[in-house]
Amino acid sequence: MSGAKKLWGGRFSGETDPLMEAFNESIHFDRRMHAADIRGSQAYARALQKQGILTEGEQQALDRGLTAVLDEWQAGTFELRPGDEDIHTANERRLGEIVGEVAGKLHTGRSRNDQVATDMRLWLRDEVQRLLGYLRELVAALVQRAEHDIDVLMPGYTHLQRAQPIRWSHLLLSYAFWFQQDAQRLEQFLPRVSQLPLGSGALAGNPFQVDREWLAQELGFASVTPNSLYGTSDRDFVAEFLFHSSMTMIHISRLAEDLIIYSTAEFGFVQLADAYSTGSSLMPQKKNPDSLELLRGKCGRVFGGMSGFMMTYKALPSTYNKDMQEDKEPMFDAVDTLSGSLQIATAVIATLKINADKMKASLTADMLATDLAEYLVRKGVPFRQTHHISGAAVKMAEVRGGQISDLSVADLKTLHPSFDEDVKLIFNFETSVNNRSSIGGTSRATVEAQIDMLKKWLA
């Protein structure tokens, strides 16, 4: 291994410690950027030809050779050799074997510093587009369920205590809007990841007047990095992507937690499809929500990757340092984890069974205590007074072992003279939810408006 010729080996006469060789190499994880590395090299060869560094024949030979290397990767026949410490070294070594000495011209004016930064941005840009597709599919699944189940009422909770009646659809749509924001953040992130570092050299810039704006256009970048030091050392795009991934995973985790709670026998509101559940090795009656628990758990994995990378990134001196090799694994892992999580979450939502009767049976009249207070507000009583009066009604019902809906009008009049026969009309859950008709509320009309808003965004 130590005898293999290295891209940087001219300065050194001693051999590298084999342990250091293994410690230094990154090919076992950065090989997944092979296609991005080859795309960047093919574009760079064309840029060198534009400047007269390569002849047309040399550029075409390099292009054919790089395509052959890509074909080997895609066919699974690419053979790694000792000394292939990273994807750039491996590709250039194999290119030389295919096209000969002309391969040595490809690196003219280019450094692995601007090369790796370009590869990472190319790779991540494409992956973000794929993740955006998965986010939209999850939003679409939530919207479809919300539309289908729009008449299902359930308790809404604060502090995990029953609070007010809401539509089940309203809960689903709250998550849909979170995931819409996650998608919007990624869309806003794309111009920042789509900056081309290639042509920055090792740190000081390119001495052959390579046309970087032409390169950016060739590779589909929105702009070029305006400073070569920044171009080679910036990894803010990794940190930002890890943050966006962490936020999305937090939203997935919260959705999973709600569904885990609602799937317990104590609630019985929802039931996971068998495809996303497992049993117990000891207790035959168990149906465990393992898919949801894994989604909840993987949130910590992504956030941990972000916090670990930030600690590596926080104190680096300017331009490239080998610490930055630690940027790729958390980025790759976040992409993989988020990709799988979004697809599983979408499938769970699409196949979820709900128990509408159990949800309805969990609605209790005390959840209309706020409606009782609002009844008096409509009679002209200040809300601070009505809140206390409604609380007194709840207490009266509790002492009698019943619900506030069991109290007679005469009982209520002992608390305030404004109560009248029409007070009985408020003890209706459908009326309660439909009274919440301001924008964002849980009435049927406002929930339909939310569905329409998300459908337009999806379209």
C-alpha triplet 375, 368, 447: angle, nearest 5°: 95
Active site residue 107: no
Degrees, nearest 5: CA angle 32-198-11: 85
- Alpha-helical segments (H) within 51-156: 56-75, 87-99, 112-148
Helix (H) / strand (E) containing 167:
strand 161-167
Angle of the 444-458 helix axis to the 168-193 helix axis, nearest 10: 30
Helix then strand then coil, in percent of the chain rounded to 5, is 65, 5, 30
**∠ Cα 379 384 387 (to 5°):** 80
User: Which of 239, 237, 245 lies closest to 123 in space, CA to CA?
Assistant: 237
Number of other CB atoms surrounding residue 47 within 10 Å: 25
Contacts of 371 (CB under 8 A, 6+ apart): 426, 427, 431, 432, 435
CA–CA separation, 325 and 116 (whole Å): 10
Is residue 159 annotated as a catalytic residue, yes or no?
A: yes
Amino acid at 409: V
Active-site choice (13, 159, 281, 438): 159
Q: Which two tokens stand for residue 403?
A: 């619900």
C-beta of residue 315 within 8 angstroms of C-beta of residue 354: no
* Options 2, 280, 307, 408, the catalytic residue: 280
Angle of the 328-351 helix axis to the 290-313 helix axis, nearest 10: 160
**For the residues of 2-14, what is the DSSP string, one character each?**
TTS--TTGGG--S
**Sequence-separated (6 or more) residues with CB below 8 Å from residue 64:** 99
Question: Quick check: 272 and 253 in contact, CB under 8 A?
Answer: no
**DSSP conformation letters of 218-245:** HTT-SEE-S-HHHHHH--HHHHHHHHHH
Q: Of the candidates 273, 256, 257, which has an alpha carbon nearest to the alpha carbon of residue 341?
A: 256
**Three-state DSSP state, 286:** coil
375 and 426 Cβ atoms separated by less than 8 Å: yes
How many CB atoms sit inside 10 A of residue 241's CB? 25
Active site residues: 159, 280
